Amino acid sequence: MADAEILTGTVVAVRGGVVDARFSGRLPRLNALLVAGPEDEVVIEVVMHLDAAHVRGTALTATQGLASGAPIRDTGGTLQAPVGDAILGRVFNVFGRPIDEKGEIVDCRWRPIQARPAALMERSTQSEIFTTGIKAIDVLAPLERGGKAGLFGGAGVGKTVLITELIHNMVGQHEGVSIFCGIGERCREGEELYREMGEAGVLDNTVMVFGQMNEPPGARFRVGLTALTMAEYFRDDQGRDVLLLIDNIFRFIQAGMEISGMLGLMPSRLGYQPTMATELAELQERIANTRRGAITSIQAVYVPADDFTDPAAVHTFSHLSATIVLSRKRASEGLYPAIDPLASASKMLTPIIVGERHYRLAQEIRRTLATYEELKDIIAMLGLEELSRDDRHTVFRARRLERFFTQPFFTTEQFTGMQGRTVSLAEALDGCEAILNDEFTEAPEKVLYMIGNIDEARRRLKQGAAGDANREEGT
């Protein structure tokens, strides 16, 4: 009873999402959760001790109606997230409460979202490739198991489709868990993604956590840690591989900038918070692979005004091991997934990690596609016939490589009518090698479009030749 009296106070100021409170006895500790208002309707997280009697906190819920003099009390704990198999297939907010109208979670445990990264001695020292079954990624921008990849793409270029396919392949190949974290998501985007995942049949092994755009910056700033806590449970307690998808990491930085401004901290360059590097590192450094399992993260990254020297972009890039760029031009040409092979890159693409053959083929593919890109203007003005014989062969190889990197997805079967394909890395490399060796120079480009491995193209060629023979016999 004495403790309850000590940790009860009064609101003294409300400025937007920042609340100051006075406590007569011992102060609540940093990151403690406070509730204020007549019905405890406003949730506040302590971020500062102003003096011996006052604390300052950021509101995780709307502060409308909260006035100076309102009662405030310490809940005795910090922000927590539910963990356990019961959370699979569900959608949560920053407080770990279900928002999918499927009832409360009963068979689960709760863990504080504030935690230290895995100790260095617990981390795996091996650099391993995280295969996705998607040719363009595995060959040209391989992901690191336990690493972080940035996914750059605007609206309408297939970002959501690529995310759902990665989740599907994660469940099928790695028997892992996928966690989608929406930071600053629009309500419409979250609802569409939830529905599409349900239709694609990947929801049962997926957890979705949203801090939506209309929520206070405090909620958007902490939702990433809620998702990470869930991911760490599956990695550390169950020894499973986890695919953590974050959309959008820039909105996490933006939420921190809003909080910093409301707290009255001095801004740094371009108005960003002075603690941006620390806050981003606290989130990113918990994404790692250990001896028991790995958290592999794919993060959508927005680059303000396409300025790659923007502090938010620079600090984010320093944490990424792979960059996947989606091209609107390729999407308009029907080349899905619309991954730009020249703009995408990976730190894993070295001979020591991927092997000499993979590295050599990837470099040859890039050279071929880059030469084709340079020749496009000449082709547009003078025509293909004006090129030298070697350049024409380069163009033929490049166009066939572009079509070979297209792939039907499992998550789009109901829309395209084409059965999805998962292609192993060895099969993808064999196909690229066959094209670079001019095996398909005389073949029509369409035999390589929307296929899985290269054997499908060979079967299409045989079927086409048999059909032509049958037609000749008929005439």
Active site residues: 159, 185-186
Q: Which of 309, 305, 316, 308 is nearest to 279 (CA)?
A: 316
Show Cβ contacts of residue 426 under 8 Å, excluding neighbours closer than 6 positions. none
Return the number of other C-beta atoms located less than 10 Å from residue 291's C-beta.
13
Q: How far apart are CA 319 and CA 125, in angstroms?
A: 17
Nearest to 215 by CA among 87, 99, 68: 99
Q: What is the DSSP string of 27-54?
A: PPPTTEEEEESTTS-EEEEEEEE-SSSE
Helix (H) or strand (E) holding 257: helix 249-262
Find all residues with CB under 8 Å of 206, minimum gap 6, and list them. 88, 89, 167, 177, 178, 179, 180, 197
CA distance 178 to 181: 10
Closest among 234, 232, 248 to 182, alpha carbons compared? 248
**Sign of the torsion angle spanned by Cα atoms 383, 384, 389, 391:** positive
User: Using CA atoms, how far apart are residues 308 and 456, in angstroms rounded to an integer?
Assistant: 40
Specify whether the backbone of 175 is left (phi greater than 0), alpha (psi in -120 to 50) or beta.
Answer: left
